Amino acid sequence: MTASGPSSTPTAPADGPAAAAGRPGPWLVGRPLPVAPGRNLYCFPHSGGSAGEYVRWGRDLPGTQVYGIGLPGRAGRAAEPALPRLDDLVNALLDATSFAAPYVLFGHSLGALVAYEVTRELAARGRPLPERLVVSAFAAPHLPRDAPRLHERPDAELAAALIDRYGGIPRQVARDPELMALFLPAFRADLTLLENYVHRPGAPVPVPIEVFGGDTDVVTADQLRLWSRHSSVSTRLRLFRGGHFYFRDDSEPLLSALDALL
C-alpha cells in the first residue's frame, strides 16, 4: 500500500474523443506509453490501497498499458467526496470513462468486487467487454460476509481493527498514528463500499473469469472456486504461494500469469 500514485489529467466524458481513445481521465492513473499499446490492463485496488502500486507493474509487462483505477476520496482525489454505494461508484466510473480494447480487468480483494460489478454493468449497457476478468483474493460475491462492520467505528477503534485484520498495512504506517490518520479516510471509504454491498442475483457475465489467490490466505480455495457461478464462459483457479498479498514478496509469478493472459 502506498500513499499516492502517478498523477492523471482530466478528460472528456465517456462519449467524447478523449475517452474513446482511452486516454487518462480522473479515474485512470497511469503512465501512457509512447506508442500505441497492444493490450490494456485496468487494475482496481484493494481496501486502503493506491492505484500507483498496480501501475508499477507496467515496467514488467512490456507492450501493456497499465492503468490503476483512482477512486474519489482516495489518494490524488482525496478532496472529492467518496461514494458510499458500489452501484453509484460503478455508474460514475462508466459514465466518465471508457476502456481501450483489447483489455483485461484485474481487481485485488475489494478491487475484485468492484471489477466484477463494473463488468456486469458493462454487459447491461451493451458496452465492449473485457477479454478476461481477473479476480484476486476475494470470495465469490454471493457468499455471506460475517466480518464485523467497521466503517462507522471511531478512528481509534478502526485503526486497531485494521492493524489486526489487514496484513497489508506497512509496519511504519501501523506504528505511526499520524500516518494512520492519513490512511484512515481511504480505508473508511472502502469499507463503507464493502459493508453496504448486497449482491443482486443475475445472469453470469459472458466473460472468462480467472480467479487468483494465496495458498495461505484466509480467503479459502473453496470460496474462490465458487466464482464459477458468475461466468457463463469459463472460470479457472490459480493459487500462488503466500497470503492475502501473495504478490508483494515476489511479484514475478503473478506478473508472468498476467502476461500470459494478456
Q: Is 193 exposed, middle or buried (0-12, 13-18, 19+ CB in 10 A)?
A: buried
Worst-scoring range by mean pLDDT, 55-64, 156-165, 177-186, 193-202? 156-165
Question: 136 — phi, psi (to 5°)?
Answer: -130, 125
Could you tell me how many helices (H) and strands (E) the chain has, helices first? Answer: 10, 7
The predicted structure's pLDDT at residue 151: 76
Measured at the CA of 116, the angle between CA 64 and CA 69, to 5 degrees, comes to: 50
Q: Which of 109, 136, 230, 231 is catalytic?
A: 109
Active site residue 244: yes
Pick the range with the lowest mean pLDDT from 98-102, 131-135, 141-145, 155-159.
Answer: 155-159
Compute the distance between CA of residue 58 and CA of residue 55 in angstroms, rounded to an integer: 6
> For residue range 99-134, what is the model confidence (pLDDT) as tens digits?
999 999 999 999 999 999 999 999 999 999 999 999
pTM: 0.86
Percent of the chain residues topping a pLDDT of 70: 87
Concatenated DSSP letters of 225-248: HGGGGGBSS-EEEEEESSSTTHHH
Check if 109 is active-site: yes
- What one-letter code names the amino acid at 135? V
Q: Could you say which of 46, 108, 230, 244 is catalytic?
A: 244
- Model pLDDT for residues 191-234, shown as the tens digit of each residue: 999 999 999 999 999 999 999 999 999 999 999 999 999 999 99
Which residues, in sequence order, are CB contacts of 210 under 8 Å at separation 6+? 132, 133, 134, 135, 235, 236, 238, 261
Cell numbers 480522473 correspond to 26
**Percent of the chain whose pLDDT exceeds 90:** 62
